[in-house]
Each structure stands twice: as structure tokens, then as C-alpha cells.
């Protein structure tokens, strides 16, 4: 039966095009993983910043989601998604390259670092929104789970190698040199995207619409909020990211100043923890087919995430085992659930709404990240780094129970399409009978 869902024209070269997208994303993610290590190291070793200012720097990367996250989806649905992604890559490359240039000239400041973080955060808003909507235009629906698993697995693999590379570069050539790796990776991603040629049918549908930007944003929010699955997934991700941002913003400082690790060893430890993400990407598709997508998400979030409570027990020497076990297993859970939820959103959401629904999700999910990062820094200043680890890991565990509030626990598999709502017909009113007139009088 035909529906009003937008049909996407899939290119016969989708295998080669996905390989290009995959390679470009893998290279870019590797560079970004290097940056996650070297940015706070620059703030610590070059600028001598406080813990709070380091968390402000971390928050600046995510702040654009809070400011432009919602309109970005409507804008992306009005633009060519591939072109948007290329422009974002090139702008990010220029912004990152400015940091080592300023450092070598002796004029690098924390304000410059925060400005660069805001720029790459802004480009990430548009790139992520466009990329999520672009993938269903590139691949048939039945190949989306495998593609998302590959992309998530590659992201996790980058988090293994990237921190180690970043730590080594920081030790040998200085932390600022690591940002040149990330700048080059964005250029590689842009060149790969430039070689992809697929029709973007959402533009044809957009040309026939006369809605305003505000109406487009409202349509995406309305679809997201009314759907019980998307609503629960979004609220869960937003609260989980609040804790995750606080943990990410303070973890490197915790390892250096509380545990006493060197810069090079910090990169190795973060990379080792990220092995869990690769494991999660490798096993999630087969596990979901066997026990069901809904059950896999619940097992990952409720059964594995509580092991995050091992992280605050970390000490030097053999005490690093707590961080490795806790971080690795949580990485398995996060990547596994992200693969399934991401695939569900792409196959479940109508094509013409994909950009707006994705941006609405990201707005809630990522707008809590700058708040969480600043929160982590503030708690660390007043309560200490180890107490902060206990607080934020406990928050992460508690956020998983939000999933029990929706229909996830009632079904073994997630649905593939939203329910078709019957049209609302006006109520049937009884016919209005003419007034009874008295019989005419006879003379």
C-alpha cells in the first residue's frame, strides 16, 4: 500500500559511495579523537588553566547545540546535505589549524581556544544533522543496520588509536601539533564527500512546500514528542549525556592530577577503554537478531552500564584495572545501543522529516552536554575530583532506568514504521429538521 513517505532514489553505486563516506568519516573521527586528548592537554600544559576553565573549553564544543540545534534541522532539510557536510569539514580544518599557528607565534590564549571550540562545535551541528539524514539517501533500508554498526565501530576504533596518537604527539612534539592531524583529517573527509554523487530527493519535496521555518521546526518536534519510542529515547539520551559530559570533562584531569598518570599513559588508557566500543559494534547486529532489538538495548543499558561505578575506585598501578573494566564495558553498552537507536530513527522517520527529527533529537541530547561539562567542573572545584567521579557515574546509571517508562519493555523488536493515524473526520451531526408550520386556516 502506498503511503506519503518520501521514496529515496538509491544509486546503483551505493557500495562504492558508502566506502568513500566510511573512509572519510573514519579519518575524520581519528583526527577528532586526537583532539579530545590534546585540547585539554594544551589547556593544562601550555596555558596552565584551572579545572573549571578546562571544563568550560569542553562545554564550548557542545554549546552550539543548545543555541542552533533546533533550526539547524530545518535549514538542513532546505539545503543539499552533501554540500553542507563539505563546507563544515573545510571550516573545521581552518579553525583547528589556527591553534598551532597562534601557539608558535606566542599569541595563543584561552579565549582563542574557546573560539575554536565554538566554531568546530557549530560545524558539528550541521554536519551531524546532515550526515544522519544523508545516509538513508545513500543506502537501501535493509543495509542501514550494518552501515551504522560499521560507522559506530569505526568511531570506537578511532577512540582507541586517536588518544594514543594524541598522547604520543603531546609527549614528542607538543600538544598543539596534534591539532594539525585533525585539520588534515577534515580535508580528507571533504575530498571523499566530493566524490559521492547521489540524488537528494528531499529538495524536490521541499520545493512543493510553502511552510515557514518555524512551522518546519514545529513539525519535527511534534513528530518526535508524540511518538512514544522516539520520546523516551531522546529523554534518556539527554539525561545520560548530562552525566557523560561531566565525566568526559573531568576524567583526563582526574587521571593526571588525582591518579598521577603521565600524558602519554592517559592516551593509552583512554584508547584501551574505547576497545569496548569496537566490541559493541561487532556483536550488536547478531545479538539484536537473536534476542530482539528492544531487549538488546535494555540489557546494554540496565545490565552493563552499572559497571561505570568501578571508575571512581581507580588508583595508580593495579588500581587502573577499575577504570579499564568499568570504562570498557560501558563503551560496549553505549555503542551497541547507539547503533540500534540510530538505525531505528533512520528507518522509522519519514524521509522529508529526517533532518528536523534528527536535529530535534540532537538538540535535546547534545544541549545537555555543555551544561554537564560545566557542572562537572563546578562539582570538582568544590567537592574534589574523586567525589565528582562518584556523582557523575551514579547519574549515568540512574538515567538508564528512564527506558522503562516507554513501550520498549513490552516488545521484543522495535517497529520499522510509525503507525498510520486514521484521518480525523468531523463528527456526524443529526440532520436539522425544518420547523413544523401550523396548517393554513380555511376560510
pLDDT tens, N- to C-terminus, the chain (443 residues): 333 343 444 555 667 888 898 999 899 988 888 888 888 888 887 888 777 888 788 888 888 888 887 788 778 877 788 889 999 999 999 999 999 999 888 898 999 999 999 999 999 989 988 888 888 778 777 788 888 888 888 887 777 777 778 777 877 777 888 899 999 999 999 999 998 887 666 555 554 556 677 777 788 888 888 999 999 999 999 899 899 888 888 888 899 888 988 877 887 787 788 788 888 888 888 899 899 999 999 999 999 999 999 999 999 888 899 999 999 999 899 888 988 998 888 888 887 777 778 778 878 887 787 888 888 888 988 889 999 999 999 999 999 999 998 888 888 898 877 765 533 334 444 445 555 555 555 44
The confidence score (pLDDT) of residue 4 equals 39
* CATH number of 166's domain: 1.20.1250.20
Residue 428 lies in a domain: no
Residue 58 lies in a domain: yes
Residue 5 and residue 351 in contact, taking contact as beta carbons nearer than 8 Å: yes
The confidence score (pLDDT) of residue 204 equals 54
Residue 5 lies in a domain: no
Residue 384 and residue 162 in contact, taking contact as beta carbons nearer than 8 Å: no
Q: Which domain holds residue 80?
A: 14-203+213-410
Residue 239 lies in a domain: yes
Q: Which residues of 323-354 are buried (b: 16+ CB within 10 A; e: fewer)?
A: bbbbbbbbbbbbbbbbbbbbbbbbbbbebbbb
Number of structural domains, the chain?
Answer: 1
The confidence score (pLDDT) of residue 403 equals 92
The confidence score (pLDDT) of residue 425 equals 39
Residue 23 lies in a domain: yes
Q: Which residues of 131-145 are buried (b: 16+ CB within 10 A; e: fewer)?
A: bbbbbbbbbeeeebb
What is the rounded distance in angstroms from the CA atom of residue 330 to the CA atom of residue 397?
10
pTM above 0.85, yes or no: no
Residue 436 lies in a domain: no
Residue 115 lies in a domain: yes
What is the rounded distance in angstroms from the CA atom of residue 376 to the CA atom of residue 242?
9
The confidence score (pLDDT) of residue 127 equals 92
The confidence score (pLDDT) of residue 82 equals 87
Task: Enter the C-alpha cell of residue 150.
Answer: 560499521
The values of phi and psi at residue 210, to 5°, are -125, 20
Percent of the chain topping pLDDT 70:
88
Residue 257 lies in a domain: yes
The confidence score (pLDDT) of residue 443 equals 43
Q: Which class for 98: exposed (0-12), middle (13-18), buried (19 or more C-beta within 10 A)? A: middle
Beta carbons within 10 angstroms of residue 70's beta carbon: 20
The confidence score (pLDDT) of residue 203 equals 54
Length of the chain as a residue count? 443
Amino acid at each position: 500500500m502506498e503511503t506519503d513517505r518520501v521514496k529515496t532514489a538509491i544509486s546503483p553505486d551505493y557500495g562504492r559511495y558508502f566506502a568513500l563516506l566510511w573512509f572519510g568519516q573514519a579519518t575524520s573521527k581519528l583526527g577528532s579523537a586526537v583532539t579530545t586528548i590534546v585540547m585539554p592537554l594544551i589547556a593544562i600544559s601550555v596555558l596552565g588553566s584551572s579545572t573549571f576553565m578546562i571544563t568550560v573549553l569542553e562545554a564550548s564544543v557542545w554549546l552550539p547545540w543548545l543555541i542552533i540545534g533546533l533550526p539547524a534541522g530545518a535549514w538542513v532539510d532546505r539545503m543539499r546535505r552533501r554540500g553542507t557536510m563539505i563546507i563544515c569539514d573545510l571550516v573545521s580544518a581552518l579553525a583547528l589549524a589556527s591553534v598551532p599557528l597562534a601557539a608558535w607565534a606566542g599569541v595563543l590564549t584561552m579565549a582563542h581556544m574557546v573560539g575554536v571550540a565554538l566554531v568546530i562545535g557549530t560545524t558539528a551541528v550541521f554536519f551531524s544533522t546532515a550526515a544522519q539524514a544523508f545516509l538513508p539517501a545513500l543506502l537501501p533500508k535493509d543495509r542501514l543496520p550494518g552501515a551504522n554498526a560499521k560507522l559506530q565501530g569505526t568511531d570506537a576504533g578511532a577512540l582507541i588509536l586517536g588518544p594514543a596518537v594524541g598522547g604520543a604527539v603531546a609527549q614528542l612534539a607538543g600538544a598543539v601539533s596534534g591539532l594539525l592531524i585533525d585539520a588534515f583529517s577534515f580535508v580528507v573527509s571533504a575530498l571523499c564527500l566530493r566524490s559521492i554523487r547521489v540524488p537528494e530527493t528531499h529538495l524536490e519535496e521541499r520545493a512543493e512546500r510553502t511552510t515557514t521555518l518555524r512551522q518546519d521546526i514545529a513539525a519535527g518536534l511534534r513528530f518526535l514528542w508524540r511518538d512514544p519510542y522516539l520520546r523516551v529515547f531522546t529523554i534518556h539520551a539527554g539525561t545520560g549525556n548530562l552525566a557523560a559530559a561531566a565525566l568526559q570533562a573531568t576524567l583526563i584531569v582526574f587521571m593526571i592530577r588525582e591518579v598521577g598518570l603521565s600524558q602519554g599513559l592517559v592516551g593509552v588508557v583512554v584508547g584501551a577503554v574505547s576497545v569496548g566500543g569496537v566490541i559493541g559494534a561487532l556483536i550488536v547486529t547478531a545479538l539484536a537478531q537473536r534476542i530482539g532489538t528492544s531487549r538488546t538495548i535494555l540489557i546494554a543499558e540496565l545490565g552493563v552500564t552499572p559497571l561505570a561505578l568501578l571508575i571512581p575506585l581507580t588508583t595508580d598501578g593495579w588500581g587502573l584495572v577499575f577504570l579499564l573494566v568499568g570504562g570498557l564495558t560501558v563503551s560496549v553498552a553505549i555503542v551497541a545501543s547507539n547503533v540500534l537507536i540510530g538505525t531505528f530513527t533512520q528507518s522509522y522517520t519519514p524521509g522529508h522529516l529526517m533532518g528536523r527529527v534528527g536535529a530535534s533529537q540532537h538538540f535535546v541530547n547534545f544541549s545537555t552536554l555543555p551544561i554537564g561539562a560545566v557542572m562537572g567542573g563546578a562539582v570538582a572545584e568544590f567537592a574534589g575530583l574523586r567525589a565528582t567521579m562518584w556523582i557523575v557515574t551514579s547519574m549515568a546509571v540512574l538515567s538508564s532506568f528512564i527506558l522503562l517508562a516507554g513501550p520498549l519493555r513490552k516488545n521484543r523488536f522495535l517497529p520499522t514504521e510509525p503507525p498510520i493515524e486514521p484521518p480525523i473526520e468531523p463528527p456526524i451531526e443529526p440532520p436539522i429538521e425544518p420547523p413544523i408550520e401550523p396548517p393554513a386556516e380555511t376560510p
